[in-house]
Amino acid sequence: MNVYLIVGLRHDIDNVYGLRKGLPKVISIEEEYGVRSTFFVRVDIIRSFKDRTLLKEIKKRGWEIGLHLINTDGSLKKYLPKDELNYLKKLLDIEVHGVTPCGKTIGFKGEVTWKIMDSLNLKYMEGYGKPDFEVRTFVMPTHLSFDIYYVRKFGEKEGYKKFKKDLWLKLEKDGFATVLVHPEWFVRSVGGSGLKKLALTLLKKQMMNKVYNQFLNEFKMKITFMRYIDLYHHLNCVAI
């Protein structure tokens, strides 16, 4: 395994379906390859004792839990960002090291969102690009959206080819990259909409199970897969 080529694995859990149905499928695939990743979770989708137990269990087994921030513009009509963080920590009785903005509800608001995430005083944050002002929090490189860009736009076969090409370009340039996949697309098709999405799901087309498994299997001896917190420590040690 080449320790100089590293991919940070990120999963955003945006809905209850993704948490309860999709997450176990992701865990099953990663377990097969001895891989651990980071799940960024919206606090409003943790609705039951069973939900809390599931997240606590994967944390104990080595996966990382981060905050998927809903209130990305500091709106007073929602939980304040600091309250979201504290609620997640208290609910799961865990330490949280990183934050990413949720693209739904409010969405990423550039400088405003960067400043809000920076104010949480966590170890790292990831958005889109880099802030054009000084921040205290370490900024992760922008992710490759394996599912909602490559597979959704180009299909499984062609999407995987394009994804691999772009991934290698990033790895050859920087030695590391980050990859995003949403758990909900392990139980639903990422392609189409309405009846077409339903048909694709029933036919198991443009779903992430097969292609994600292919990715981990093909790259397992070429790169090192990491949780974001481990990538953070690695990059900061290299920088030092």
pLDDT of residue 15: 96
Please tell me the pTM assigned to this model.
0.95
Grouping H, G, I as helix, E, B as strand and the rest as coil, residue 19 is helix
CA 142/CA 126 separation, integer angstroms: 7
79, part of any domain = yes
Nearest in space to 4 (alpha carbons), one of 216, 172, 206, 201: 172
113, part of any domain = yes
Looking at residue 148, the DSSP 8-state letter turns out to be I
CA 43/CA 27 separation, integer angstroms: 20
191, part of any domain = yes
Q: Are 139 and 177 contacting, i.e. CB atoms less than 8 angstroms apart? A: no
Q: Are 64 and 226 contacting, i.e. CB atoms less than 8 angstroms apart? A: no
25, part of any domain = yes
Domain that holds residue 223: 6-239
Grouping H, G, I as helix, E, B as strand and the rest as coil, residue 38 is strand
pLDDT of residue 87: 97
196, part of any domain = yes
CATH number at residue 55: 3.20.20.370
Over residues 24-52, the mean pLDDT reads: 97
Q: Which strand (E) or helix (H) includes residue 225?
A: strand 224-226
Q: Which two tokens stand for residue 198?
A: 């339903």
Q: Does residue 3 have a pLDDT over 80?
A: no
Q: Are 149 and 155 contacting, i.e. CB atoms less than 8 angstroms apart? A: no
38, part of any domain = yes
Phi and psi at residue 101, to the nearest 5°: -85, 140
Domain count along the chain: 1
The percentage of the chain sitting over the pLDDT mark of 90, rounded to a whole number, equals 88
1, part of any domain = no
In which band, very low, low, confident or very high, does the pLDDT at 227 lie, cut at 50, 70 and 90? very high
In which band, very low, low, confident or very high, does the pLDDT at 239 lie, cut at 50, 70 and 90? low
Residue linked to tokens 């809390």: 52
Q: Which two tokens stand for residue 208?
A: 């992430």
Q: pLDDT tens-digit profile of 75-99?
A: 988 889 999 999 999 999 999 999 9
232, part of any domain = yes
Range list of β-strands (E), the chain: 6-13, 38-41, 64-69, 98-101, 124-125, 138-139, 144-145, 176-180, 224-226
The DSSP secondary structure of 159-171, one letter per residue, reads: HHHHHHHHHHHHH
Looking at residue 183, the DSSP 8-state letter turns out to be G
What's the N-to-C CA distance of the chain in angstroms? Answer: 24
Over residues 99-104, the mean pLDDT reads: 95
CA 161/CA 172 separation, integer angstroms: 17
Ramachandran bin of 181, using left for φ above 0, alpha for ψ from -120 to 50, beta for the remaining angles: beta
